[in-house]
Structure 1
Amino acid sequence: MARSTEKKNAFYAQSGGVTAVINASACGVIETARKHKDKIGKVYAGRNGIIGALTEDLIDTSKESARAIAALRHTPSGAFGSCRYKMKSLEANKREYDRLIEVFAAHNIGYFFYNGGGDSADTCLKVSQLSKATGYPIQAIHVPKTVDNDLPITDNCPGFGSVAKYIAVSTREASFDVASMCATSTKIFVLEVMGRHAGWIAAAGGMAATENVDLPIVILFPEVKFSQGKFLKLVKEKVKQYGYCSIVVSEGVQDRSGNFLADQGLKDAFGHAQLGGVAPVIAGLIRDKLGYKYHWAVADYLQRSARHIASKSDVEQAYAMGKAAVEMALQGKNSVMPTIKRTSSKPYRWKIGEAKLSRVANVEKMMPKGFISRDGFGITKKCREYLEPLIAGEDYPPYGKDGMPKYVQLKNAPARKKLADFKVK
């Protein structure tokens, strides 16, 4: 089916775990689309990700003012709702793809922008293949997002810089706290961070210590098999030298047999092991083997929603990815993702690149060996040079007289339904 010269509408949705800056990407998509009214009609947002497309639960973003859309740039979380839903192949679930085409056709949608991580890239890739498989004209562009920083090809992922800044700052502040108490009380602080297979977020904890700020920090990476003996020896040495020790542990840390230390025996919607609770496991081990008093915390949602301490470079890149996605679609591209290409670390410079979704979907980028210290419990100079510009700069949200940040809550007015109800299985 040839593409019609008629102006097409766009579909945008957010998927997976949200971030402090995913709405900045939404802002980039919608504001850029509005600047091209001669080529793009309305932007419909899917309520709760791809599920909104399947159930025809579309949000008409044209009902939002320019001021409200602009405020998305400094508002955390997912303004339109997210989901964890991975579509099967066209052969395995033709029913859902037929439904997508039915919804797209009913609402004259010719552009598809999906904002998420690796599993979301897979969904976007499958949607991009609809044109070839069915003849329906749809251009699918993936907008990168993930706090895990594990998408391939792109230098870094929007969402990561801000969570890295939060973890680095939190680790430093908590370390100062423990240092003040270690003589008579707490000697160990354990902070659990996200990261199933890639230790990028845990690595950020290492940024808390510098040449001018000497702190005893031990990091446990998913890429390094956990050795109880080596770990306890190092912690004991740190406490002997400093009087205390701070430990940053990734939720995905595994033992020598490849088992997650925090495996609950449950699975999430994508079939991944449901993790959580590695901090008390590590703290309990220290208590039983070394007898030190401890405190532990789980950063959990706080790390990915902390817009008040977002990285300036992260906010700028998140917006730029949304903007670039629309521009790529207008250039007639399909099945691609805009990327961040670092051209210099000092001074920090980057530009927009492009990657084929077939090279992005379901591929995880792990920490390079050269970023992890030889003993496996810290970061190297190369890692510091990589991380430093990603956590640099502040982009504070506006604050009200009540001392609270002013975040926008959209009206999210629904578009009129035109089709029969559809149940997602």
Structure 2
Amino acid sequence: MTVKNAFYAQSGGVTAVINASACGVLEAARRHPDKIGTVYAGHNGILGALREELIDTSKESAETIAALRYTPGGAFGSCRFKMSSIEDNEVQYQRLIEVFQAHNIGYFFYNGGGDSMDTAHKVSYYSKKMGYPITCIGVPKTVDNDLPATDTCPGFGSVAKYVATSIKEASLDIESMHETSTKVFIMEVMGRHAGWITAAAALAMEEENDPPHMLLFPEVDFCRESFLAKVQRIVEQHGYCVIVASEGTHYADGTFLSASRTTDAFGHVQLGGTAPILARMVKDSLGYKYHWAVLDYLQRSARHLASAVDVEQAYAVGSSAVEFALSGKNGVMATIVREENEGDEYVWSIGEAPLEMVANVEMKMPAHFIAPDGLHITEECRTYLQPLIQGEDLPPFKKGVPVFAKLEKHFVEKKLPAFDI
């Protein structure tokens, strides 16, 4: 029986540890040359399959593959491209299967979030319909930490560590200058509908009144009057106020503070700019001097401050995906399971969940993780978050800056006609 090849692709916004998952997939596959032939990586995610732009990872050295573990970004290229439903655009799925068949691909490892799990689920279903069944395994990834069925999402622990560290450092700056300078500092973080990243900022606190003093979650409707009154009370009490706001902060009618008229490839309204809008409110109504920062891509690419726990989990879901496939499993996503903690130790293992359970589902912050006033986290939330940012996993440095993997990216010769996406 001919050994089948595999296809691996990265999808959506990248993280500081998505390449650690790629490393896990590739190193696990290389341990089974009798069961998995060549692993092809999609150039720019699923677009690489549709365009038949396949990277032959077997041409990369073992050293380069190992270096992916500490390299941020998406080494093979990612994309924001949402596959249509099978009913609306069956030809896209037909094209995927044709490409897989042309290159003897029998395994599909998709490294992404909810939309990616939906695609993997549909490919698993449609490939059977076409008579060329593909084993599809999901590899979770998202800084938003909003996938169901898993204790946490690879990528989140590192962004949480970066956000908590950044606000702790910036707060010392504001505290030292507030008497004659900035009174209010606002830091904007990612999170459209789920406030996990915002919540992680609270890990900077050592004592009750430490900054950040206020957190603005997507799960809690924003009220301008209450916000300004709270800012004024905090400044009067402490001399300064430090705020962390989600990009998804919105009014009671659902309107985002920072909503623009543009949308991304998934149809989501383009966000970004909540912090300056809040700062202007403060200035216009209270007259305080302010500064703001939008962490944007810095928070999700800061591999130099990655959580060691996050790196380990990202690698584990990648390698486990391969083991799942070889054990005969199909249509599942590797998950992280929180076991009973032994003292202060965070004990976790790898589990699995059906792709259809994960596809297109957002896991928001539960109400019991948000303080009664809606502006901070509870101790239960802190207990959940704290283990996820533990440990440091530094990349190697040369001449004072990190050294990351550089792939040669050998493309496979195309066998099919061009495809119009």
Tell me if 1:94 matches 2:90. yes
Deviation, structure 1 residue 221: 0.1
Match of 1:200 among 182, 190, 196: 196
Deviation at 1:152, TM superposition (A): 0.3
Q: Does 1:356 align with 2:349?
A: no
Aligned to 2:77: 81
1:5-84 paired onto structure 2 within 5 Å: 5-84=1-80
CA distance in 2 between counterparts of 1:121 and 1:128 reads 11
SS for the counterpart of 2:188 is strand
Q: Secondary structure at the match of 1:136?
A: coil
- Shifted more, 300-309 versus 255-264: the winner is 255-264
Q: How is 1:264-303 mapped onto 2 (pairs within 5 angstroms)? A: 264-303=260-299
Aligned counterpart, 2:111: 115
Partner of 1:210: 206
Aligned residue number for residue 317 of structure 1 = 313
Within 2, Cα distance between the matches of 1:264 and 1:250? Answer: 15
Is the contact made by 2:139 and 2:334 (CA closer than 8 Å) also made in structure 1? Answer: yes
Tell me the TM-score normalized by structure 2.
0.98
The equivalences for 1:228-377 within 5 A come to 228-345=224-341, 346-377=344-375
Q: Residue 422 of structure 1: CA displacement?
A: 1.3
Alignment counterpart, residue 404 of structure 1, candidates 401, 404, 409: 401
Is the CA contact 1:209–1:217 (under 8 Å) kept in the aligned structure 2? no
1:142-153 matched pairs, under 5 angstroms: 142-153=138-149
1:327 Cα offset (Å): 0.5
Between the aligned partners of 1:222 and 1:371, the Cα distance in structure 2 is 13
Distance between the aligned counterparts of 1:101 and 1:323, measured in 2? 24
1:392 equivalent in alignment to 2:393: no
Shift of 1:91: 2.2
Give me the whole-angstrom Cα distance separating, in 1, the residues matched to 2:26 and 2:209: 43
Deviation at 1:130, TM superposition (A): 2.1
Query: How far apart, CA to CA, are the structure 2 residues paired with 1:157 and 1:65?
Result: 29
The whole-number CA distance in structure 1 between the counterparts of 2:114 and 2:356 is: 11
For 1:419, the equivalent position in structure 2 comes to 416
Q: Which residue of 1 aligns with 2:163?
A: 167
Partners of 2:278 and 2:117 in 1: how far apart?
Answer: 34
Matched length: 419
Counterpart of 1:414, as a letter, is F
Q: TM-score, normalised by structure 1?
A: 0.97
Of residues 356-365 and 209-218 in structure 1, the stretch that sits farther from structure 2 once superposed is 209-218
Determine the C-alpha separation between the residues in 2 that align with 1:216 and 1:143: 33
Deviation at 1:14, TM superposition (A): 0.2
| Secondary structure of residue in 1 paired with 2:159 | helix
Offset, 1:213: 8.0
Residue of structure 1 aligned with 2:216, choices 217, 220, 227 = 220
User: How many percent of aligned residue pairs carry the same amino acid?
Assistant: 64
Shift of 1:216: 4.7
Partner Cα separation in structure 1 for residue 133 and residue 174 of structure 2: 59
Rounded to whole Å, the distance in 1 between the matches of 2:213 and 2:27 is 43
Distance (Å, rounded) in 2 between the aligned partners of 1:49 and 1:386? 32
**Per-residue CA shift, 1:371-411, capped at 9, x if unaligned?**
111111011101110110001110010111x1000111111
Counterparts of 2:88 and 2:261, CA distance in 1? 27
Uncovered stretches (5+) of structure 2, i.e. residues with no partner: none
Contact 2:67 2:405 in 1 (8 A): yes
Structure 1 residue 344, shift from structure 2 partner:
3.1
Where does the alignment leave 5 or more consecutive residues of structure 1 unmatched? none
Cα deviation code 1:333-369 (max 9, x no counterpart):
1110010000134321001111001110010000011
Alpha-carbon distance in 2 for matches of 1:124, 1:210: 43
Higher mean Cα deviation, 81-90 or 195-204? 81-90
C-alpha displacement of 1:42: 0.4
Distance across 1 between alignment mates of 2:239 and 2:184: 9
**How many Å apart are 1:265 and its aligned residue?**
1.8
CA–CA distance in structure 2, aligned partners of residues 222 and 212 of structure 1: 23
Matches of 1:98 and 1:338 in 2, distance apart? Answer: 26
**RMSD between superposed Cα atoms in Å:** 1.0
Aligned partners of 2:231, 2:26: CA distance in 1, in Å?
Answer: 50
